[in-house]
Amino acid sequence: MSKYDHKKIESKWQEYWAEKQVFKTKDSGKDKFYVLDMFPYPSGVGLHVGHPKGYIATDVVSRYKRMNDFEVLHPMGWDAFGLPAENYALKNKIHPAKAVEINIQTFKEQLSIIGLDYDWSREINTTDPSYYKWTQWIFLQIFKKGLAYQSEEPINWCPSCKTGIANEDLEHGKCEQCGSEVQQRPIRQWVLRITDYADRLLEGLDKLDWEDSIKEMQRNWIGRSEGAIIKFQISRPQRQGAALAGTADFKFQIEGFTTQPDTLFGATYMVLAPEHELVASLLSNQESIISNQEEVDKYIKMSLRKTELERQETKEKTGVELKGIKAINPATKEEIPIWIADYVLASYGTGAIMAVPAHDERDFEFAKKYNLEIIKVIDGVDIKNEVYTGEGIAINSGEYDGLATAEVKEKIIKWLEKEDIGKKAVNYKMRDWVFSRQRYWGEPIPLIHCEKCGVVPVPEDELPVELPEVKSYEPTGTGESPLANIDQWVNTKCPQCGGNGKRETNTMPQWAGSCWYYLRYIDTENNKHLVDKKLEKHWSPVDLYVGGAEHATRHLIYARFWHKFLFDIKVVDKDEPFQKLKHVGLILADDGRKMSKRWGNVINPDEIVEKLGADTLRVYEMFMGPFNQAIAWNTESMIGVRKFLERVWKLYQEFIDNFSQSRDTANSKSKRELHKLIKSVTFDIENMKFNTAIAKMMEYTNFILGRKSKGETGVFNIEHAFEFLKLLHPFAPHITSELFEQVQKTDQSKSGDNIISLEPWPEYEEKLAKEDEIELVIQINGKVRDKMKTSADISEKAAKKLALNSDKIKPYLENKEPKKVIFVQGKLVNIVA
Ligand code: ANZ
Ligand code: ZN
């Protein structure tokens, strides 16, 4: 009997697949299935065992779909621009382009030994000029539609990475790349109007087959709030004895955004963010309107030193009253004090609020601390809190008293609009997307600054604007990219007037290339269009997209944004790119921590492939636990998987050695087991429950071996032999290819050179696949009190009788008639006593 030599088998089949181009996507006219991995960014350290988990899963699905007669598109490529690649290159003193090339080589080798069925003829690399030509092209279309603008607003500046970064690239207020404390610096930036798409990004979620948790993260990130903007007039109270009359020409006002206009009668003070422009203009006013200027100045300086996050997180609220002015509550006509406090953020809403301490916790805390008036305007009690934040019936609200919150809201907004002192408003947490970086390793932004014409797009036929060679790609730290130092490249002619122009030297952020790569896989060679219209229509949307939950917001929002834009300009046919999304749970180290060089707990897939084989690695990673859950590595359990494959190998070797028995008719028990297995493995793969699919195949193998060892005949014939291999094939493609070939060669009745990867998926007969025995659960008032094995199609009458006569049940009934007995076919009997 031959030994299971995984090395020989795995390299044999990997070579065969590559040479025969078995997995090349064709134009076959079959139904399509597009299954996509989030392409990796090829880092210097290579893959650890966590990375391939998602790739193995898409490979299982891809192989399964191909066997189900779909034309499958399963491509792979490299997301290679961006800070990590550049920082790695700087550290190792090689050009980023060179570093990327080396790293891709390593990654590709590591992936190839796992036996993934990618169509490598469609490989893409975001740093390839023929690719980023189209990234630039999309940017130009966005620019031409007025959705890209320059801004000088202060943004986060990382002093160590020496570049501006978007809010969403911060981790707890620090640079995500290097952990440095960021500063606020005004730098000229290109910004994309993603907020124009906020509502569509939100609504689009409803029709997507995504996990709820990820949809919820997107909803929170977009953060849509409905409410009103209300204008409050500012007055200067008559000071005793002072000649400060004449409030009539005093035209200042404050606009506050609120989600609860219904609480207007309870607004007892106002708060401005310290950066609010009104504060600056009041302070610089010659009449010295604010009487405590010094105190106010000091407070502003102090709060500017804090990051937004610190401001939101600090427990103890602080603030200063702006003395000398008051606001007028438009509903009560009362004068209320105006404060500045840094718990109000300048970047949200209008940067000013009406404070309702009776019904808002932050306002309450603040009012308590500074002794401000608290007026309840909604009737209700919160047992845990002094503040009532729920809905209820209005009180202390004039003509609105007695009405419910929703109604008050509506009526007050109507009144505000009629009186022209406010209007309905929607606000988003999401900001426009800061889209430029002051670094070398990114797509150049294809614009030219002309003294006469302003900003002029590079003509499309001159794309790509290639990254020039530089002597030093170190960041300059001046707020300009290293490209700014290359005069030859920077100085150019204006495409519009022919005069002197300068190229834009900012580059695009790391996220740009991944915003549309899934479209390029459809048509990688096209140099006339980003993607051919007909092909795009055929292959879109991506049917299944798999990747890490860390991309739940940024990548998946940016890509949806660009896709919707491309839909609007009629480049793509559908307005959402990814129909189904599944997220991969992390693989943790065996110590339960994240795998990291820092902890020295990284497990390398190459070693496992070498020692135990790719099939063992693949089956183990799919068997570890539910696919989307984090789970710790366990070497023993992996060895268990290897033993399973060895048992399969042995089963088939014996089968081949005793091939004359292969035509035995299958006995009925064995037949049923096979059909049940086909049904459940099919269901499990469709639902990405890979672990249970594998568990059932293990049970099945044990069943067969057990029966065979007892000398039973008709347990495992030629039909079983082929069908089981096909079920296992997506998970363990090498060993199953080899065994399939061996069985075929032994079987004289077949011509014998089919390969299993292109065989049809097994079908099952429903009546054979039905469970014949079940565990009938017996409950009393919903609590499980007994379980018993019965036939699956037990009748209602028989099941009830069985339940009522159970020794475990009788004591609960105390000889009384139950009120009701409920029967669920195939599952349970519930007795209501
Ligand atoms: C009055 C009010 C009464 C409020 C009440 C809440 C409860 P979301 O849901 O996040 O949109 N707010 C508005 N702008 C703010 C800013 N720049 N900084 C800090 N807080 C701000 O929250 C909107 C609510 O947060 C607004 O509604 C406002 O307080 C506050 F019983 O106005 B509310
Ligand atoms: Zn010009």
CA of 192 to the centre of ligand 2 (A): 23
Query: Residue 183 — φ and ψ, nearest 5°?
Result: -110, 165
Q: Give pLDDT, residue 691.
A: 98
- Nearest residue by C-alpha to atom 21 in ligand 1: 344
Domain assignment of residue 679, yes or no = yes
Task: With respect to residue 319, please indicate whether it lies within any of the assigned structural domains.
Answer: yes
**Would the pLDDT of 376 be above 90?**
yes
Q: What is the DSSP letter of 523?
A: G
Record the pTM. Answer: 0.86
223 C-alpha to ligand 1 centroid (Å): 13
Ligand 1 probe mutation, 225, 229, 254, 259, most atoms within 8 A of CB:
259
* Centroid of ligand 2 to alpha carbon of 137 (angstroms): 20
661 and 775 housed in the same domain: no
- Residue-wise pLDDT for 248-282, tens only, equals 456 789 999 999 999 999 999 999 999 999 999 88
724 and 752 assigned to the same domain: yes
- Matching residue, tokens 């509506």: 410
Q: Percent of the chain, pLDDT > 90?
A: 72
Q: What is the pLDDT of residue 761?
A: 98
pLDDT at 121 over 50: yes
pLDDT band at 238 (very low <50, low <70, confident <90, very high): low
Residue nearest atom 33 of ligand 1, based on CA coordinates = 258
- Among 714, 741, 768, residue at a domain's last position: 768
| Ligand 1 geometric centre to CA of 257 (Å) | 7
In a domain, 523, yes or no: no
Q: Tell me: do 780 and 740 sit in the same domain.
A: no
pLDDT of residue 750: 67
Residue type, 520: R
Q: For residue 346, which atom of ligand 1 is closest to its CA?
A: 17
Average pLDDT, stretch 153-165?
83
**What is the mean pLDDT of the segment spanning 526-531?**
96
Write down the pLDDT at residue 614: 98
CA distance 262 to 357: 14
Nearest protein CA to atom 26 of ligand 1, as residue = 258
Instruction: Give me the number of domains the chain comprises.
Output: 3
| CA–CA distance, 446 with 462 (Å, rounded to integer) | 9
- pLDDT higher than threshold 60 for residue 241: no
Evaluate: CB of 405 within 6 angstroms of ligand 1.
Answer: no
Residues 752 and 783 in one domain: no
Same domain, residue pair 696 and 797: no
- In this prediction, residue 145 has a pLDDT band, given cuts at 50, 70 and 90, of very high
Q: What is the pLDDT of residues 342-372, one digit of tens each?
A: 999 988 899 999 999 999 999 999 999 999 9
* Side-chain half-sphere CA neighbours of 555 within 13 A: 22
Judge whether 618 lies within some domain. Answer: no
Q: Is the CB of 359 under 6 A from ligand 1?
A: yes
Residue 239: pLDDT above 80? no
Residues 821, 725 share a domain: no
Both 722 and 821 in one domain: the answer is no
Write the DSSP string, 250-316: ---EEEEEES-GGGGGG--EEEE-TT-HHHHHHHH-TT---TTHHHHHHHHHHHHTS-HHHHHH-SS
672 and 790, same domain (yes or no): no
217 within some domain: no
- Find out whether 351 and 275 touch, Cβ atoms under 8 Å: yes
The residue segments making up the domain with residue 660 are 635-768
User: Which CATH number belongs to the domain containing residue 711 in this structure?
Assistant: 1.10.730.10
Last residue of a domain, one of 427, 462, 495: 427
Distance 142 CA to ligand 2 centre (A): 20
Q: Mind listing the pLDDT tens digit for each residue in 596-641? A: 877 888 888 999 999 999 999 999 999 999 999 999 999 999 999 9
The answer on pLDDT for 752 being more than 70 is no
pLDDT over 60 (residue 170)? yes
Q: How confident is the model at residue 393 (pLDDT cuts 50, 70, 90)?
A: very high
The alpha carbon of 459 and the centre of ligand 2 are apart by a number of angstroms equal to: 13
Q: Which of 311, 353, 354, 382 to mutate to test the pocket of ligand 1 (most atoms within 8 A of CB)?
A: 353
pLDDT at 770 > cutoff 90: no
408 vs 385, higher pLDDT: 408
Question: What does the pLDDT average to over 224-246?
Answer: 75
Amino acid (one-letter) located at 623: F
Instruction: Decide which of 724, 749, 768 is a domain's last residue.
Output: 768
In the predicted model, what is the mean pLDDT of residues 471-480? 80
Kindly report the protein residue whose alpha carbon is nearest to atom 14 of ligand 1: 349
Strands 422-428 vs 820-824: parallel, antiparallel or unpaired:
unpaired
Tell me, what's the pLDDT at 240? Answer: 47
Instruction: Say whether both 251 and 370 belong to one domain.
Output: yes
For ligand 1, whether the C-beta of 345 sits within 6 Å is yes
The best mutation among 229, 258, 262, 359 to test binding of ligand 1, ranked by most ligand atoms within 8 Å of the C-beta, falls on 258
Which residue has tokens 């009253």? 321
> If you measure from the C-alpha of residue 354 to the centroid of ligand 1, how many angstroms do you get, rounded to a whole number?
8
- 564 lies in some domain: no
Domain CATH number, residue 803: 3.10.20.590
Shared domain for 749 and 810, answered yes or no, is no
| Rounded mean pLDDT, 805-824 | 88
816 and 754 share one domain: no
Ligand closest in space to the Cα of 389: 1
Check pLDDT > 70 for residue 244.
no
CA–CA separation, 476 and 710 (whole Å): 77
Tell me if 717 is assigned to some domain: yes
Distance 261 CA to ligand 1 centre (A): 10
Residue 622 · residue 52 · CB < 8 Å: no
| CATH code of 407's domain | 3.90.740.10
Q: What is the mean pLDDT of residues 406-418?
A: 97
Pocket test for ligand 1, best of 348, 364, 409 (most atoms within 8 A of CB): 348
Q: What is the pLDDT of residue 245?
A: 43
Same-domain status, 268 and 335:
yes
Q: How far apart are CA 790 and CA 521, in angstroms?
A: 53
Q: Model confidence over 445-468: pLDDT tens digits?
A: 999 999 999 999 999 999 999 999
Atom of ligand 1 nearest to the CA of 378: 31
Q: Is the CB of 427 under 6 A from ligand 1?
A: yes
Query: For the chain, how many helices (H) and strands (E)?
Result: 26, 34
Ligand 1 contact, 351 CB (< 6 A): yes
The verdict on residue 551 lying in a domain is no
CB of 263 closer than 6 angstroms to any ligand 1 atom: yes
